[in-house]
Amino acid sequence: MIDDPAPNQIESASGALFGDPPQKAATSGAYRVLARKYRPSRFEDLIGQEPMVRTLSNAFMLGRIHQAYMLTGVRGVGKTTTARILARAFNYEVPARDGHPAIDKPTVHMDEIGVHCQAIMESRHVDVIEMDAASHTSIDDIREIVDSARYKPVMARTKVYIIDEVHMLSKSAFNGLLKTLEEPPEHVKFLFATTEIEKVPVTVRSRCLRFDLRRVETDALIRHLDMICDKERVEIEHDSLALIARASEGSVRDALSLLDQAIAHGAGAPIGVENLRLMLGLADRARVIDLFDALMKGEIAAALENLKEQYDAGADPAQVLVDLAHFVHFVTKTKVAPNVADPAATQAERERGAFFAQDLSMSVLSRAWQILVKGVEEVKDSPRPLPAADMVLVRLAYAADLPTPEDALKRFFDAQRGGPASGLSRPPPSVPASGPSLGAGAAARSVPRLAAQTAPSPAPAPEGPPTVILKTFADLVALAGEKRDIQIKAALERDVRLVRFEPGVLEFALAEGGAPGLAAQLTRKLQDWTGQRWMVALSSAAGAPSLMEQAEAAENEKRIGLQAHPFVRAALEQFPGAMIVAVRGGEAETPPPTEAPEAVLDDVAYIDDSEEEDF
C-alpha cells in the first residue's frame, strides 16, 4: 500500500528547497541540526557541483542512465545527499491532479514532492537500501545484496542500493559484487560514496560512472550560510560568515555545524567575529597581521609578546602559525596576481596585504613560507607548543632581513673594491646560465674524445669490418664513446689501471670494485670494433691510476692552488664553513692579483653550510 503524501509535502519549487518542509520541522518538537534541516532534496539545491549536475541532467534527458555511480570527494560536500537525490530521480512519480498530467519516469526536474520522495530523503523507503560499508564489510553482507537484487522492487520503479564509504569493503566483498555490478537486473541501480577513491579496486571503478564532488568555493559557501541565517532569523556579521567558511575548508556540513555551534554560543545574540574566534580558538586576524609586521621588521620582542597575548586569549600556537602562513600566501598571491580577489579576506587584510606585497621581495616571502610550513609541524609534534612556536618566530625574524646568497657575494666584493656595500634593494648579480659543476666524477667522465684512426687502404675490403688502429688508451676510450657503449666507456675510465698498451695488446690492473669479467668483455668488443684480434689480460702489477683518479687528483690540485688566491682566501674567511667544491674554466695556475673579482667569482662555486637548511 502506498501512503499518499501529506498536503504540506507537495509544494512548489520555492517550498521544497531542502529536505523537510518548514511546517513539519516546526511542529515535530525535536530539534534538527542545520546540516540535516537544510539538506538539499533537488539537484538545483546542490551548491558548488554544477559540472556534475549538468552531466546528470543531460544523461537523464538523453535516456543514458548508467547502472552504477561512484561519488567521491572530501567530507561534507554532498556525496550521500547526491545519492539520495539520484534515488529520488530514478523513482520520481507524481499522480495527475488539477489538470496536470502524471509524471512516471526518471527525471532530474523534481519541482514538487513525489510519491516516494519523502521516504527516500528520510532514508526509510523499502526499495532504497542504504548500507554503511564501514560496519558491513564482509562477503556475507554483499551476498545478501546480490540475492535480493534478483527480486523486483516492492513499491517503486527501481531498486537502489546506496553503499556509503564503499572503500571499507573487504577484498572478497568487492570480488563478490563484481558480476552483479557489471550485469545487474534492469530494475537495479548501485550508488557508491567514498572519501578514499584510491582504495576502491580498479575493477569496481571501471564499472561505475564516476563523479568527483569538489570543495565548495568560499564565496558560494558564504552566500549559502547567509541565506540560512536569514531563514533562521540569526544576526551575523559578514566577517563571521567568512571566518566560518574559511574554517570549514570547503565542507558544507562542517560550515553548518560551526554555524549551529555559533548560534548556541551566542544564545540568540548577534554573532560577532570576536566571540566566534574565541569559540573556535582561532587567532585574531588583525593580531596575526601585526605579528607578521613585527617579524618582517625583525622586532623579536614585540613578536613574542604578540604570540603570548594570543595564547593567553585562547589561541592555539600551531593555529597562529597556520594563520600566519595563510597571510604569507595571501601577500604572495597579491604580489603575483593582484587582480585575483579573495572573498574571505577582510578589509584590513586587503589593505595591509597590498602594502606588504609592494614592500617585500619574493625571496623573503618564499623563505617565510618555508620556515612556517616546517615550523607548524614542529609545534604540532612538540610537547610544549608555545616555546616551540617562539623558536619558529625567532628563526623567522632573524631570517627576514638576511640577504640572498647573490646579494651577500655582491656586498662582499663591493667591499673588497672599496666601494659602498650594496643593500637589499640592489638587484642581485646575474646568474651564469650554466649550473654548478658536477664535481670530480663528471670531470673524470669528460675525457677528450680522440678520433680513431683508420688504416689507409687504396680500396675497401669487400667484406668484414674496417681495420681500426688504436695507438693510445685514450683512443680506445674515445672509440667506446663513438660506439655509444656507455657501460664500457665508464668501466675504462673508472676501473682500468693501465699497465701496458700497444696495438693488439692491453694489460691492466683492476681497480677496487671493478667487474672481474671486464677483460673477456673487452676482448670481444675490441675484435668487433677494430676488426683484429686483441690480447687483453689482467696484471698483478699496480698499474697507473685510472682516468677518473687522475681527474680527481687534477681537480684537487686546482682547488688547492686556487685557495691561495687573495680574493678566494678572503671569501672563505668571510663565510665560515664555506668550501670550494668545483673549479670551472681556466687553468690551474693562480690568476693574477689585478684580475677583477667577478672573473674569480665566475670560476669558483661556493657552498656555505653554516646556515640552517631553510635558508
Which has the closest alpha carbon to 94: 175, 12, 23, 34? 12
pLDDT for res 9: 38
Among the residue ranges 51-55, 196-200, 567-571, the one predicted with the least confidence is 567-571
Residue at 614 is within a domain: no
| Domain final residue pick, 503, 519, 545 | 545
pLDDT for res 406: 67
30 and 143 inside one domain: yes
- Determine the Cα angle at 493 with ends 492 and 495, to 5°: 65
Q: Which of 65-74, 425-434, 527-536 has the highest mean pLDDT?
A: 65-74
Residue holding cell 687522475?
550
Residue at 295 is within a domain: yes
252 and 369 inside one domain: no
- 190 with 184: CB under 8 angstroms? yes
Q: What is the dihedral of CA 565, 569, 570, 573, to 10 degrees?
A: 180
| Domain final residue pick, 545, 561, 590 | 545
Q: Give how far Cα 598 sits from Cα of 8, 12, 594, Å.
A: 85, 79, 12
Residue type, position 563, single letter: Q
pLDDT above 70 coverage of the chain, percent = 79
Of 166 and 485, the structure prediction assigns the larger pLDDT to: 166
pLDDT for res 347: 72
| Average pLDDT value for residue range 511-527 | 82
C-alpha cell at 382: 612538540
Residue 3: burial class (beta carbons within 10 Å; 0-12, 13-18, 19+): exposed
- Would the pLDDT of 235 be above 80? yes
162 and 125 inside one domain: yes
507 and 576 inside one domain: no
**pLDDT confidence of 516, banded at 50, 70, 90?**
confident
Round the average pLDDT of the chain to a whole number and report it.
78
pLDDT for res 86: 93
pLDDT for res 401: 67
| Average pLDDT value for residue range 299-305 | 91
Residue holding cell 545574540?
269
- Would the pLDDT of 178 be above 80? yes
Among the residue ranges 53-67, 374-388, 442-456, 570-584, the one predicted with the least confidence is 442-456
379 and 473 inside one domain: no
- Would the pLDDT of 495 be above 50? yes
Residue at 305 is within a domain: yes
pLDDT for res 511: 83
- 485 with 477: CB under 8 angstroms? no
Of 304 and 449, the structure prediction assigns the larger pLDDT to: 304
Q: Give how far Cα 430 sits from Cα of 409, 420, 427, 601, Å.
A: 12, 19, 9, 12
80 and 185 inside one domain: yes
Residue type, position 542, single letter: A
Among the residue ranges 39-53, 212-226, 233-247, 423-437, the one predicted with the least confidence is 423-437
Angle at which helices 285-297 and 317-336 cross, to 10°: 70
Residue holding cell 544523461?
59
CATH of the domain at 344: 1.20.272.10
CATH of the domain at 225: 1.10.8.60
pLDDT for res 7: 36
Rounded CA gap, 589 and 580, in Å?
16
Residue at 410 is within a domain: no
Q: How many domains does the chain have?
A: 5
| Average pLDDT value for residue range 76-102 | 88
Rounded CA gap, 201 and 171, in Å?
9
| Average pLDDT value for residue range 475-485 | 85
- Would the pLDDT of 290 be above 50? yes
- 234 with 271: CB under 8 angstroms? yes
Which has the closest alpha carbon to 204: 66, 68, 52? 68
H and E: helices and strands count for the chain: 26, 14
Centre a 10 Å sphere on the Cβ of residue 110 and count the other Cβ atoms it contains: 20
Of 439 and 158, the structure prediction assigns the larger pLDDT to: 158
pLDDT above 90 coverage of the chain, percent = 28
Q: What pTM was computed for the model? A: 0.54
173 and 41 inside one domain: yes
pLDDT for res 606: 44
Domain around 471: 443-454+465-545
| Domain final residue pick, 188, 212, 236 | 212
Rounded CA gap, 17 and 45, in Å?
6
| Average pLDDT value for residue range 85-93 | 92
pLDDT digits (tens, 9 = 90+) for 249-288: 888 999 999 898 888 887 777 888 877 877 776 656 778 8
Residue at 435 is within a domain: no
List 164's β-bridge partners, or say none: 132, 193
Residue at 436 is within a domain: no
Q: What kind and span of H or E run contains 607?
A: strand 604-608
List 453's β-bridge partners, or say none: 469
Q: What is the dihedral of CA 12, 15, 19, 25, to 10 degrees?
A: -140
- 612 with 367: CB under 8 angstroms? no
469 and 371 inside one domain: no
Among the residue ranges 62-76, 121-135, 331-345, 411-425, the one predicted with the least confidence is 411-425
Of 552 and 198, the structure prediction assigns the larger pLDDT to: 198
Residue at 26 is within a domain: yes
166 and 70 inside one domain: yes
**pLDDT confidence of 428, banded at 50, 70, 90?**
very low
Of 468 and 253, the structure prediction assigns the larger pLDDT to: 253
**pLDDT confidence of 166, banded at 50, 70, 90?**
very high
Residue 165: burial class (beta carbons within 10 Å; 0-12, 13-18, 19+): buried
pLDDT for res 16: 37
CA-atom Rg of the chain in angstroms = 37
155 and 289 inside one domain: no
Q: Which of 39-48, 386-395, 493-502 has the highest mean pLDDT?
A: 386-395
C-alpha cell at 127: 526499495
252 phi-psi bin (left φ>0, alpha ψ -120 to 50, beta other)? alpha
Give the distance between the most distant pair of CA atoms in the chain.
112
567 and 521 inside one domain: no
Residue at 108 is within a domain: yes
CATH of the domain at 201: 3.40.50.300
Rounded CA gap, 395 and 602, in Å?
32
Q: Give how far Cα 71 sits from Cα of 52, 106, 249, Å.
A: 10, 19, 19
- Would the pLDDT of 609 be above 50? no
pLDDT for res 416: 67
pLDDT digits (tens, 9 = 90+) for 446-462: 333 333 333 444 444 44
**pLDDT confidence of 544, banded at 50, 70, 90?**
confident
Three-state DSSP class for residue 579: strand
Residue 60: burial class (beta carbons within 10 Å; 0-12, 13-18, 19+): buried
385 and 499 inside one domain: no
pLDDT digits (tens, 9 = 90+) for 2-29: 344 433 333 333 333 444 443 344 444 5
